[in-house]
Structure 1
Amino acid sequence: MRTSRLPRRAVALAGAALLTTALAACSSSGTDHDMAGMNHGNAAPASPSATGGHSMPGTDHGMPGAEGAGAPADNRAGYRLTAADATLPAGQPADYRFSITGPDGKPVTAFAVEQTKQMHFYAIRSDLTGFQHLHPAMAADGTWTARLAALTPGSWRTYASFTPDSGDGKGTALILSRTVNVDGKAEPAALPPASTTAQVDGYTVTLQGTPMANMAHPMTVTVAKDGKPVTDLQPYLDTYAHLTAFHEGDMAFAHLHPESEAKNGGRGGPDLAFHAEFPQPGNWRLFLQFQTAGRLHTAAVTLKVG
């Protein structure tokens, strides 16, 4: 898989997570798929030239160089994530409204395009279930609205991944996070045991590699269906795969991508190579996204890092 792109990245915070890996997917319908408690924004990806995105390989938000790509916090480098609601209703779609304020205390309205989007937004419950990956819309005043699929009761954490395109932090990748409570009695789920395989929609995803904390290791993801290699992975957010990882307990965040770049109109698979580096040992819950035939698939797997 490729390392992703981020121009002018700031030096990563100590403990920032780099895990290069991912699976790509985005449907051309522009609607969201909701699969097994996981929801993902999947408007058709635009080319960097069409959106003003950068095409420099080797960088990305959530990677080394992204401020806050480890332990979650709602403020970094003078930037702050603020949200309109501290609680959300359970069992129904909900709008989550938030804004980013800069070092001057004013709402930020200029954002660089990264992986065809100005904002990547994630939500996950404290037991690492219910993963959602969305691309919200911004109003003229800098207020973002993420349309979340139905949430289950409990404590959730939201993550905003972005790069300011003006001001003191211009060109600095940032990841900010806040908690939000969902009404009702929470029924926590046990984290599934560590595994090297995951199934979704008839596909089998296999991880190969033995990552160790604070050490760089190669990793390969292989995608198969009915025992046969899959070679028709479609580009999603400029890659053939997308991976988001969360650490059990402190919910540290890592966002990773394939080493190879998606080719315009091309197809990828079955093997996707990564460079993996985790900032701490323990269990990480990985959500791997990839697309075939215009449909987004998400496979979840627990990875034990020594």
Structure 2
Amino acid sequence: MKNFLNTIVITTTLLLAQSCSLLPKSEEKPISITTHQHEERSMSGSHHREHSTSDTGDSKKALTQAKLKVPSKMTSNKSIPIMIDIQDSDGKAITNFDTFQEKLMHLILVSDDLQFFNHLHPTYKENGQFEVAARFPQAGSYTFFSDYKPAGQTEQVSVLKTQVPGNSIAAPEINLNRSKMFNVTKVNLAVSEPTVKAGKEVALMFKLQDASNNQPLTDLWPYLGERGHLVILRQSTPLKAEDYIHAHALKDTPAGQVHFITSFPQPGKYKLWGQFNRKGNIVTADFWINAI
């Protein structure tokens, strides 16, 4: 028999909503969950199991929705095909998307305990459908943040959920160290303020050194059109669109350094993943920050 697909759909209630779907055909049970949209973003999510919620009374109707399809049998540490469908509020495929940061879609996959991170770029298959293969390192709950721009619209973020069955491993204690080794690269994180306060703008400065001699890197290449990329998520249950920040690197910084300016919207612990390109090898440097 064909594998059953698990599908969950989350639509946003403000300007735009998004949807995701996945894999080949099988029985599909959409789940609808209403969410809200930021000033420039809408969110949606998908998973498989049937249920729905009604609109929460927001006066602005969602214009898009997202559907995620994954196999009914999810296995850790194996390549899993994922499909994401982007539709309008009537269920019709949105077919045109604008490229941003060199891609049509950026898909951030994290475990809900924020121990695992992956930055994927699904392939557009026309008719509003994106496909990608994802690997889940262990059993547990996972969240996708699907970042894309319908043609002529602002950047949208859809939040999608899935579960990998089995016994999960307890997350290690949070490490607040500001200097870490990532293979042959040493990364030091400096923050412009001694205390990070919620809602206050701060500069995050990544200083990258060659581990062999502690000298600033001279072999940084652009990554997706920028000096680097930074994804930030607030530790929360469940993870939501308002917990997600995608910061853009400043253009002019000293050799071996990549700087970002952002703010942390709420008090709490935040996980940061800075991504940098060393001559074709992507360095992903993760740190924790506590905002008060």
- 1:140 and 2:126 equivalent? yes
Distance 1:178 1:296 in 2: 25
Q: Confirm or deny that 1:189 pairs with 2:171.
A: yes
2:70 to 85, 101, 107: 85
Q: CA deviation at 1:229?
A: 1.0
* CA offset digits 1:255-292 (Å, max 9, x no partner): 11211179xxxxx7312222121111211111111111
Instruction: Judge conservation of contact 1:109–1:141 (CA < 8 Å) in 2.
Output: yes
- 1:22-68 CA-to-partner distances (Å, cap 9, x unmatched) read xxxxxxxxxxxxxxxxxxxxxxxxxxxxxxxxxxxxxxxxxx85314
SS in 1 for 2:181: strand
SS in 2 for 1:304: strand
Structure ID, larger Rg: 2
Match of 2:221, SS state, is coil
**Which runs of 5 or more structure 2 residues have no equivalent in the other structure?**
1-13, 15-37, 47-60
Secondary structure class of the residue paired with 1:229: coil
Match of 1:118 among 104, 115, 118: 104
Q: Give ranges in structure 1 of 5+ residues lacking alignment.
A: 1-12, 14-63, 263-267
Question: 3-state DSSP class of the match of 2:220?
Answer: coil
**Rounded Cα–Cα distance in structure 2 between residues aligned with 1:135 and 1:269:** 28
User: Structure 1: how far apart are the matches of 2:250 and 2:106?
Assistant: 20
Any residues of structure 2 matched to 1:89-108 within 5 Å, and which?
A: 89-108=75-94
Corresponding residue to 1:236 among 219, 223, 229: 223
Aligned-partner Cα distance in 2 for 1:200–1:158: 24
Distance 2:273 2:200 in 1: 21
CA distance in 2, matches of 1:288, 1:104: 38
Judge conservation of contact 1:125–1:155 (CA < 8 Å) in 2. yes
Cα distance in structure 2, aligned partners of 1:124 and 1:191: 17
Give 1:85's aligned amino acid: V
Instruction: Trace 1:172-187 onto structure 2 (pairs within 5 A).
Output: 172-187=154-169
Q: Which amino acid aligns with 1:186?
A: S
> Equivalent residue for 1:294?
280
Residues 145/188 of structure 1: CA separation in 2 closer, same or farther (3 Å cut): farther
Aligned to 2:250: 259
Amino acid at match of 2:130: W
Please state if 1:213 is matched with 2:184.
Answer: no
Structure-2-length-normalised TM-score: 0.73
Compared with structure 1, are the counterparts of its residues 174 and 77 closer, same or farther at alpha carbon in structure 2 (3 Å cutoff)?
Answer: farther
For the residues of structure 1 that align with 2:201 and 2:181, how far apart are their CA atoms? 27
CA contact (8 A) 1:98 1:145 kept: yes
Whether 1:281 and 2:267 are equivalent positions in the alignment is yes
Measured in 1, the distance between the counterparts of 2:227 and 2:39 equals 22
Alpha-carbon deviation of 1:109?
1.6
Q: Return the offset for 1:141.
A: 2.5
Matched, 1:204 2:191: no
Equivalent residues of 1:93, 1:151 under 8 A apart: no
Query: Residue 304 of structure 1 corresponds to which residue in structure 2?
Result: 290
Relative to total residues, which structure has the larger strand share, 1 or 2?
2
Go from structure 1 to structure 2 and tell me whether the alpha carbon gap of 1:140 and 1:261 turns closer, same or farther (over 3 Å shift): farther
The alignment status of 1:66 with 2:40, answered yes or no, reads yes
Q: 1-side partners of 2:107 and 2:173: how far apart?
A: 23
SS at match of 2:175: coil
CA RMSD of aligned residues (A): 2.3
Check if 1:158 corresponds to 2:144. Answer: yes
Distance 1:125 1:190, change over 3 A: same
Looking at structure 2, the residues matched to 277 and 104 of structure 1 have their Cα atoms a distance apart, in angstroms, of 36
Per-residue CA deviation, residues 229-277 of structure 1 (Å, 9 max, x unaligned), is 1122101111111111111114321111211179xxxxx7312222121
Distance 1:127 1:272 in 2: 27
Q: Which has the higher contact order (CA 8 A, sep 6+)?
A: 1
Residue 191 of structure 1 and its aligned partner are, at CA, apart by 4.5
